[in-house]
Amino acid sequence: MKNLLVTGGMGFIGANFIRYLLYESDFKGSVVNVDLLTYAGNMDNLAGVEKEFPDRYRFVRCDICEREKMQEIFDRFKVDSICHFAAESHVDRSLVRPDAFIQTNIVGTFRLLEIARGLGGGLELFHHVSTDEVFGSLGDEGSFTEETPYRPNSPYSASKAASDHLVRAYSKSYGLPVTISNCSNNYGPYQFPEKLIPLVILNALEGKPMPVYGDGRNIRDWLYVRDHCSAIWAIMKEGRRGDTYNVGGNNEMENIDVVRLVCDILDEFCGLYEKEPRRTLIEYVKDRPGHDRRYAIDSSKLTGELGWNPQESFATGIRKTVRWYLDNRLWVDRVRSGEYKAWIEEQYGSRPGRKLG
């Protein structure tokens, strides 16, 4: 893998992955980052990277659904491998506007696969990053494995399930060298503030109500984003082509316990809010439609075949995450204020799909 295309590389996980590749891994090639810079894509996530790696990193603003422009990028940068993060990814947004999820997650993946198919023997790998939400909801026992049937319960998870099936089908039908990873809930630096953990951190810090869906007893397996990045790279390097690997953090927690722990850490770091523990700001709200009750990932295949294990427990990872948001208020303020969006439009224009680089 000499010339790696990373789609959605300005997003939360994609940006962390690019940082991992360039600063920590044994990857020696070049990275081409393609991102449309929609609401969750943020160039501040990779501030300084292009200056530090001028010969190994390039950014191009483009919509992955635009076949001709994406083909130009493949040709120009001699792309031989792909790590595909680009996706609409928020369940709540998918309930309001599912069409965007169908277009980006399904059609966008199809466009990339078609271009990759055209590379023939020049394609080293197409790695597709997916989610445990494709498996639906678990009962009180058991975990998702690579053999678990797909049962998506939201437009978001249905669109990701469809894209998983497309990638697998292109492997079986056309012989494309592919790998797929299905991960549990990520958290860590650079996560967009609408997601649970950064939303709770920022609301609790500012004394705002912290909304918790339903009874707060929904269970998720939490995966620190750097651990996810190291797993993806291990799969890309050593995973069996055509195979799927589950990536989990071995950290099952009820949502309400996550929120309470964040409150307690902020009370420790910052002191009480107006002499009250921040737990008093928790507010239960009406549950969202199709809210899966429990997710849990069995990563034993990844561990057994490739020797990967998460390095962070939730107790250590969440403290690092809270501290990062406290130490990076400028990033937070730019994301939330609209200043960043205005800067992007000034620098690059607002027309989706405009190509840069």
Give the pLDDT of residue 356: 33
Give the pLDDT of residue 130: 97
Residue 88 within a domain: yes
Q: Which of 88, 132, 221, 292 is catalytic?
A: 132
227 catalytic, yes or no?
A: no
Q: Check residue 353 and give left, alpha or beta (phi > 0: left; psi -120 to 50: alpha).
A: left
Residue 16 within a domain: yes
Give the pLDDT of residue 351: 46
Q: What is the pLDDT along the chain (357 residues), one digit of tens a residue?
A: 999 999 999 999 999 999 999 999 999 999 999 999 987 788 999 999 999 999 999 999 999 999 999 999 999 999 999 999 999 877 778 888 899 999 999 999 999 999 999 999 999 999 999 999 999 999 888 999 999 999 999 999 999 999 999 999 999 999 999 999 999 999 999 998 888 999 999 999 999 999 999 999 999 999 999 999 999 999 999 999 999 999 999 999 999 999 999 999 999 999 999 999 999 999 999 998 878 899 999 999 999 999 999 999 999 999 999 999 999 999 998 888 765 566 556 665 554 433 333
Place of tokens 């390039």: 58
The domain tally of the chain equals 1
Residue 211 within a domain: no
Classify each residue of 87-122 as buried b or exposed e, where b means 16 or more C-beta atoms within 10 Å of its C-beta. bbbbbebbeeebeebbebbbbbbbbbbebbeebeee
Q: Are strands 81-84 and 282-285 parallel, antiparallel or unpaired?
A: unpaired
Residue 226's Cβ-count burial label (10 Å; 0-12, 13-18, 19+) is buried
Q: Which of 20, 63, 88, 156 is catalytic?
A: 156
Residue 157 within a domain: yes
Angle between helix 108-118 and helix 155-174 axes, rounded to 10 deg: 20
Tokens for 8, please give them. 């959605």
Residue 355 within a domain: no
Output the pTM of the full model: 0.92
Tokens for 201, please give them. 């951190």
Residue 229 within a domain: yes
Query: What CATH number did the domain enclosing 91 receive?
Result: 3.40.50.720
Residue 326 within a domain: no
Give the domain extent around 182. 3-188+224-249+296-305+338-348
Please provide the distance, in angstroms rounded to a whole number, between the alpha carbons at the two ends of the chain: 21
For 281, which DSSP code?
Answer: G
d(CA 114, CA 61): 20
d(CA 344, CA 347): 5
Q: Which of 35, 63, 133, 164 is catalytic?
A: 133
- Which residues 6+ apart lie within 8 Å of 185 measured at CB? 132, 220, 221, 222, 223, 295
133 catalytic, yes or no?
A: yes
Residue 276 within a domain: no
